[in-house]
Amino acid sequence: MPNTSTIEKPDTTTTPGRKKSKRASKESRRLLRLAYRTRRGMAPLYATTTLALAGSALSVPADGWKTAVAATVTSTVVTAAWGRWNVRIGKKRLRKRLPTRSDFIAGTSAVATGGGLLTAMAATGGLQIGDSPYPGLLLAWGLGHGIYWWRRGKRTAAPTVSDLGEQMKAWQDKVASADGSLPGSKLVDVVTTDYGWTGVVIVKKGNWRRAVAAVNDIAGDIDKPEEMIQIEKAIGQSARRAIIAVFDRNPLQDTLDFPGPQILDTKTGRAQVGIFYDGEPVQYAFWKPSGPVHSVIYGATDGGKSRFLDMLLGTERHNGIVSWVCDPQGGQSLPRWREAVDWYEDTALGGLAMLHEVRKIMYERSARYSMMPFVDHKGRTLRGRDHFVVGDPDPLISVTIDEAHRVLNLQGAPALVLELIQMARKCGIKIRLVFQGPKSNMYGNSPESTDIREQAQSGNTVMFRTASSLTDSIGLPGWDINPSQLPMYWPDKTSTAGLGYLKGPDNRQAMMRAFFDRDPAHWATTGTTPTLEASAAACTGKAYTERLDRLAARLRGEAVVLPDDPATQAAAAGDPIAAATAAIEAEAPAGSDDTIAAYLLQRGRPVGRNTIAQETGLTVSAVKNALSRLKKAGRAVDVDRGVWAHPQHVDAPAENTDQAAA
C-alpha cells in the first residue's frame, strides 16, 4: 500500500467580530459617498450639525469662547471681503462676476449669526439638550438659511430658455438658429454696461474670425445699426471665442480731452493716447528697450491726423524729445509748431534736406556709439553699445513728415527714407510718416516703396477713417477691421475725428478714439524746445545751422531759398545718384581739417583745390568743405578763385599749374 500524507488546510472562516468590523467599514464608506453626492442639497444640515458639535467642543475649555469670538470675527471679515473682491491685473480680470446683492447679504448673515450662536454655546456650556434654547435656535438658524439656499439652488440649477437673459434668448432665436448668421454659436458671460452690454461669442466651427466676418449680419439679426456693434478677438482665450459689445450709445461719442504731456511714461516709453470702447487705455510706443519705434499714421480728410500730431508733438516738447517737423502743405496742417520745435520746414524739398541731415547725425552717432564704454546688467564694463538709451547721453530725435507722399515723390527720397528706417533706431532716431491712405503710390514710385511701408508698419500703425475699403487690409495686414466703414458723423451730427484703430503695444483689433488737444498753442508756447547735442549739431550743414535765419525770414514775409549744400543741389536737380554721392562726400573724414592745414603750411605757397585733393587723397567735396571750415577758423585763406594758402604764405606766388588745377 503506497505511502500517503495528509495536508491540513488553514481555517479560512472569519471570526464574528472581524466580519462585523468589515461590514461597518463598508457601510461607513457608503455613507461618506452619499454625503459627498448630496453635499450641495444637504449643505444647511451639515452646517447646522457642525455648528452644534463645535459649540459643545469649545465649551469644554474655560477660554473656549475666546476662540469662538476670534473665529466669528475672522470669518465675517473674510466673507465680506470675498463678496466685494474685484481685482484686475493688466487686461485680465481675476474674477468674472461679483455675487448678487441678495447672495452677499445671505452669506454674511449666515457667518455672523452662526458665529454669535457658536460663541454663546462656548461661553455657557454647550448645546445642553433639555430646557436650553440652543436646540431651537440651531433649528431656526438652519431652516432660515437653508430655505434661502434651497430656493437659490432651484433657480440656478438648470436654467431653461425662459430663464436666460433677453440678449441670450435673442441670440439663440435669431443668430444661433439654423438660418442665423452664426448657426450653433453660443453667447455666454453677458454683462450689462453703461453703454449697452458685452458678452463672449463661442463659434461652433472655425475661429473667432467667423464672428468678425459676420458682424454686419449679426447687426441685422438683432436689429441694431452696424456701427453699434464691435467684435474682437478674445485675447488669451480659446480661438473659438470672440468678445462682442453692443452699444445703446457709442461710448466713444463724447470728445476726450488731451490730459497733457504727462501721458508719456518715461520708464516704459509708452503714452496713453486715447481709450478703447470699453474704457481701457490705448498705448502708443515712443520707444522700447531696443530703441525708438517708427510710426505711420493714415487717415482721410477730417479723420483726426493733425490733432493727433498736435498731441504727440506737445508730449515730445515737454518730455525732452527733439522734434523735427516737415509740413509740405505750407505749414497749414501744423502751424502751431513752426516756432516750437527744433527744426520746421514747410516744403517738400525742405523735408528732403531734413532727411539728409538726419542721415549725417545717424552716422555720427553710430561711429560714436560703436566705441562708447558702458556697464551692462551684470556690472561689466564693455565698449561698443548696440542699442539706444534715451537721454544717455543723447536725446531721442523724432522726425515727423506730414503729407509724406509729397517728399517721397522726390527722386532719391525713397532710398534715403528706407536707409533711415532700417538703420536709425539704434542711433535714437524715430521716423513718423503721415499719409491720406496706405496705397503703394503714396510711398513713391520706386523699388523701395513696398519695403518702406512694411518697415514703417512694423512699429506703431494708426488708422483713422479712410476713404476706400480696398486699402483697409493694406494698412493693417492680418487685421479684420474696416476703417473705411467708420462713420464721418455721429447721430447728433458731430464729427467722429479721432475714431480709428491703433496697432501698438496693446495689439487689440478694437475701436478706439484718440484724445483731442483743444489748445495745442498752450503746449507749444510753454516749456523749452529740446535741441540736438553739440556733436550731432556740429556734423550738420547749412540746411540745419541756418534754419532759424530762414524761419525769421519767412515770418517777415520774405522768400526763402535752401542753402546750396551739395546734397540739396543734387536733389533739386532730380539726380538720386548724385544726391547720394554728394551727401556721402559732404561727410569729411575725421582729421581732414588738420591734414589740409598741415599740407598748406608745408606747401609754402598758394595751391589749387584739385591739387590738394590729389596729394592728400581726399575727395574734392571733402576738401572744399574742410577749406570753408579752415577759413572760418582763420587757418586758411582763399587768395584766388579755387586757390588756397596758409595764412603765413598768402603773399607767395602760386605756380601756373596750381592756378590751372583750381
Q: What are phi and psi for residue 346, nearest 5 degrees?
A: -120, 20
- Measure the CA–CA gap between 552 and 110, rounded to whole angstroms: 79
- Measure the CA–CA gap between 566 and 571, rounded to whole angstroms: 9
DSSP 588: P
Lowest mean pLDDT, pick from 339-353, 371-385, 586-600: 586-600
Percent of residues, the chain, with pLDDT higher than 70: 87
What the block records as the C-alpha cell of 68 is: 469662538
Q: What is the pLDDT of residue 78?
A: 86
Over residues 495-507, the mean pLDDT reads 91
Q: What is the pLDDT of residue 661?
A: 54
- Higher-confidence residue of 651 and 538: namely 538
What the block records as the C-alpha cell of 399 is: 522726425
- Higher-confidence residue of 282 and 65: namely 282
Quick check: 163 pLDDT over 50?
A: no
Quick check: 577 pLDDT over 50?
A: no
Angle (CA) 119-123-124 rounded to 5° is 120
- Locate cell 498752450: which residue? 522
Task: Report CA torsion sign: 387, 393, 396, 399.
Answer: negative
Q: Which long-range contacts (CB under 8 A, 24 or more apart) does 437-441 make?
A: 437/298, 437/300, 437/466, 437/467, 437/468, 437/471, 437/475, 438/296, 438/298, 438/463, 438/466, 438/471, 438/474, 438/475, 439/471, 439/474, 441/405
- Measure the CA–CA gap between 456 and 399, rounded to whole angstroms: 13
Q: What is the pLDDT of residue 633?
A: 86
Q: What is the pLDDT of residue 433?
A: 95
Q: Which DSSP helix (H) or strand (E) runs through 112?
A: helix 101-124
Q: Helix 566-573 and helix 576-585: axis angle, to 10°? A: 180
pLDDT in tens, 46-56: 888 888 888 78
Confidence of residue 11 (pLDDT cuts 50, 70, 90): low
- Higher-confidence residue of 634 and 482: namely 634
Quick check: 159 pLDDT over 60?
A: no
Quick check: 654 pLDDT over 70?
A: yes
Q: What is the pLDDT of residue 228?
A: 85
Confidence of residue 145 (pLDDT cuts 50, 70, 90): confident
Cβ distance 284 to 460 under 8 Å? yes
> DSSP letters of 520-563?
HHHHHHSS------HHHHHT--HHHHTHHHHHHHHHTT------
Task: Report CA torsion sign: 452, 453, 457, 463.
Answer: positive
pLDDT in tens, 310-323: 999 999 999 999 99
DSSP-derived pairing of the beta strands 429-435 and 397-401: parallel
In SS3 terms, 464-524 reads as ECCCCHHHHHHHCCCCCCCHHHCCCECCCCCECCCEEEEECCCCCCCCEEECECCCHHHHH
Confidence of residue 6 (pLDDT cuts 50, 70, 90): very low
- Measure the CA–CA gap between 465 and 479, rounded to whole angstroms: 15
Over residues 7-22, the mean pLDDT reads 55
Cβ distance 201 to 241 under 8 Å? yes
CA-closest candidate to residue 330, choices 564, 157, 554, 542: 554
- Measure the CA–CA gap between 570 and 582, rounded to whole angstroms: 7
Lowest mean pLDDT, pick from 176-185, 245-254, 476-485: 476-485
Give Cβ neighbours of residue 539 (< 8 Å, ≥ 6 apart): 360, 361, 364, 587
- Measure the CA–CA gap between 324 and 316, rounded to whole angstroms: 11
pLDDT in tens, 198-214: 899 999 888 888 888 88
Over residues 440-466, the mean pLDDT reads 86
- Measure the CA–CA gap between 486 and 225, rounded to whole angstroms: 12
Confidence of residue 253 (pLDDT cuts 50, 70, 90): confident
Q: What is the pLDDT of residue 463?
A: 93
- Higher-confidence residue of 620 and 317: namely 317
Which of the listed ranges 45-59, 219-233, 315-329 does the model predict with the highest average pLDDT? 315-329
Over residues 108-126, the mean pLDDT reads 82
β-bridge mates for residue 344, sequence order: 325
Could you tell me the CA-to-CA distances from 621 to 479, 508, 567, 578, 628 in Å, in that order? 49, 51, 11, 12, 11
Quick check: 325 pLDDT over 90?
A: yes
Over residues 553-557, the mean pLDDT reads 87
- Measure the CA–CA gap between 620 and 568, rounded to whole angstroms: 17
Cβ distance 541 to 565 under 8 Å? yes
Q: From its phi and psi, is residue 533 left (phi > 0), alpha (psi between -120 and 50) or beta?
A: beta
- Higher-confidence residue of 19 and 169: namely 169
Quick check: 532 pLDDT over 90?
A: yes
β-bridge mates for residue 375, sequence order: 381
Over residues 398-403, the mean pLDDT reads 95
Cβ distance 406 to 443 under 8 Å? no
Q: What is the pLDDT of residue 588?
A: 52
Quick check: 578 pLDDT over 80?
A: no
Is the preceding omega at residue 414 within 30 degrees of 0, hence cis? no
β-bridge mates for residue 489, sequence order: 495
Quick check: 430 pLDDT over 60?
A: yes
Query: What is the average pLDDT score of the chain?
Result: 82
Q: What are phi and psi for residue 404, nearest 5 degrees?
A: -65, -20
Confidence of residue 528 (pLDDT cuts 50, 70, 90): very high
Q: Other CB atoms closer than 10 Å to residue 397's CB: what's the count?
A: 27
β-bridge mates for residue 557, sequence order: none
Confidence of residue 225 (pLDDT cuts 50, 70, 90): confident
Cβ distance 457 to 475 under 8 Å? yes
- Measure the CA–CA gap between 416 and 570, rounded to whole angstroms: 13
Q: From its phi and psi, is residue 331 left (phi > 0), alpha (psi between -120 and 50) or beta?
A: left
How many CA within 13 A on the CB side of residue 219?
16
- Higher-confidence residue of 532 and 658: namely 532
Exposure of 288 by Cβ count < 10 A (0-12 exposed, 13-18 middle, 19+ buried)? middle
Quick check: 119 pLDDT over 80?
A: yes
Q: What is the pLDDT of residue 89?
A: 56
